[in-house]
Amino acid sequence: MSELIAQNKKARYEYEFLEKLTAGMVLTGTEIKSIRNRNVSIKEAYCRIKGNELFVHNLHIGEYEQRGFVNHEPLRPRKLLLNSRELKKINKKLQDQGVTVIVTRMFISESGYAKLDIALARGKKIHDKRTTIKDRDIQRDMDRMR
């Protein structure tokens, strides 16, 4: 069973998810310790392709307090680990107008590795957001009646 570290709840409201993927990350020792302490913010994180690699930007991993003299930079770009087929698929979808790659949640896998759930997403219009709110309210009312 995986341990949830951080979740981007606002992403479901702001974006329409086209496809979801799970990716590993290349981290340093103090970064994984900070992640296990839940010193993470993924609210403004997004992904970009550079060359044949996918990097996550604006993923804030706070500094580890019990560090020695070396620590990591909190907002540095981090490489995501995906296979080449998935990278080609993401690169092809990013050519479409208005499509971006966002981070939806971070978790520690059963084997102890930090993983990110990322989604290919398209931004919603205002009327789509209103529809989302209306559907959520209707579902909540139906659940209360049961």
Question: DSSP letters of 66-96?
Answer: T--S----TT--EEEE--HHHHHHHHHHHTS
Three-class SS state of 118: strand
Domain 3-145 indexed as CATH 3.40.50.300:
no
Q: What's the mean pLDDT in 50-67? A: 88
Q: Would the pLDDT of 69 be above 80?
A: no
Q: Report yes or no: 58 and 75 within 8 Å, Cβ to Cβ.
A: yes
How many Cα atoms are found within 13 Å in the side-chain-facing hemisphere of 127? Answer: 0
- pTM higher than 0.75 for the full model? yes
pLDDT in tens, 19-56: 999 999 998 888 888 888 898 998 888 899 898 899 99
